[in-house]
Amino acid sequence: MDCQYLPLASTGQFSSLFLDYLDQKDSLKPFYNRFPDLQSFQQQIDERTFDAQKRTALVDALNRQYQHIANKPDVSVLLDPKTFTVTTGHQLNIFTGPLYIVYKLITTIKLARRLKETYPDYTFVPVYWMATEDHDFAEINHFSMFGKNYAWQTEQRGAVGRMNPQELKTLFDQIPEKLALFEEAYLKHDTLADAVRYYINELFGAEGLVCLDADDAGLKQVFAPVIRDELTQQKSGQLVQEQTEKLSALGYKTVIAPRDINLFYLDDQIRERIEHKDGVYKVLHTKLRFSESEMLALLDEHPERFSPNVVLRPLYQETILPNLVYIGGPSEVPYWLQLKPVFDQYQTPFPMLMPRNFAMYVPTVSAKRIRKLGLVTEDLFQDTITLKREFVELHTSHALKFDNENKQVSKALDAILHKAQMVDPTLEKAVLAETKRFANAVTRLEKKMRRAEEHNQETGVRQLLAVKNELFPNGSLQERSENFLTFYLNDRTFLQKMLSAFDPLDYRMQLCLE
């Protein structure tokens, strides 16, 4: 593939907080530990102590979760004190969801490889943190393939990882393509978590990627001291609020809003917030009520009933994984910047924050069009009106503006104004009004000439807009809407091509042309 690159700041697609973090702006340095360049990993390794009991709990959980998976990864390597993880995470979007989720996984795999090359004395395991406890079904229940949207409808509620995916059989009946891998995953597993683990292992298991489902009693037991402290002391919300106010004072918009208690109650068909008022713990939208002693007894007996929200989930991750870096998107990296005081409170090393790779994949037909039309990467990120106007002006053999004529007319109008003022100063308004009408008429004529020239260049303009719409379906980045199957079904080497093309430490937009 022919790869072209563009600074993220030049795309107009990212927040100032995200871009300033990548620029390592001095004012943001107190909000994180260290920036993810290759040399900094040794310091992170030296800082990242992780005791043997936690490693054992992690390996036991993974062995349970992979017990029915063929060709499962050897997770026993995580028992070695010289083994560390590099992690990304995401919700369990059906059929992998938008392209960028696959890009996150590939970035994570490539980073583990690069670190092994640089630090051969250590082992690095790429981990996909499956957001199985998330309950926002509307965010995961749909995907787009070949420009058509498909959605899963269900009456199931609660944590999505516990949902039964066999209802997706009705969706397969709507999809004209045969998707054997996903039929095997969804129709032969009882939970969405098991289904996702199966197909991710089929797609990326050979690359060393390990899937972790943190909805696990053994792993929650490791995190129980933090859960207990959150229930009784409620420190995290205030810490995050103070950090958020500091970011706001610097002019940044923040992503997450903390709660007094940043935990959910989790059970079958239920994931609801826990609130504490007048000495009673309430589970919202239920009749569940607990005294403090009852709540803490429940924690001792069933730690899996407690689910961290967005404030505590990153701390949970870093508590149960020997992790060095989190690979996230343009919304995730900024919200982690709100969380460092929580890590400091619980004496847990703050991971390095690394953006995932950003890319546009351009199949052969569109790649040929781009080359034929003489487009460069910067052109494609312009809005459609500007892109079309500049394309037409570049390729026309005619003058589409009356610049020289306007200069001559302006001189004549100035002379007319001067003469009119000499006769009667009150005529100035009348002359200026006629001048404005003339300018508007010229503008209208220029627009008509441009439309006429667009018609003359109809073929080129049509090809230009086809490329633009393919890379920005519905006006958004391709990677945020299109599914990988759109390209994989036509080219089974698609994932390997992206694996080869990505550099995890290259923080630019990448245009990949076939």
pLDDT at 390: 79
Contact status, residue 359 vs residue 119, Cβ threshold 8 Å? no
The beta strands (E) that lie in 366-493 are given as none
pLDDT at 310: 97
pLDDT at 449: 62
The packing angle between helices 52-65 and 313-320, to 10°, is 100
Domain boundaries 48-218+309-361, CATH class: alpha beta
Contact status, residue 132 vs residue 162, Cβ threshold 8 Å? yes
pLDDT at 405: 66
pLDDT at 402: 61
pLDDT at 410: 73
Left, alpha or beta for 310 (phi > 0: left; psi -120 to 50: alpha)? Answer: alpha
pLDDT at 126: 98
At 451, list the tokens: 């439309």
d(Cα 80, Cα 55) in Å, to the nearest integer?
Answer: 8
DSSP 253: P
Kind and range of the H or E element at 99?
helix 99-118
How far is CA 309 from each of CA 260, 263, 470, rounded to the nearest angstrom?
11, 5, 36
pLDDT at 446: 65
pLDDT at 230: 98
pLDDT at 158: 96
d(Cα 450, Cα 469) in Å, to the nearest integer?
Answer: 22
Q: Residue 264 — φ and ψ, nearest 5°? A: -110, 155
Kind and range of the H or E element at 221?
helix 217-232
Give ranges for CATH 3.40.50 in the chain.
48-218+309-361
Which stretches of the chain score pLDDT less than 50?
A: 400
pLDDT at 398: 56
Pairing of strands 306-308, 289-290: unpaired
pLDDT at 275: 97
Q: Angle at the Cα of 61 (from 55 to 62), degrees rounded to 5?
A: 90
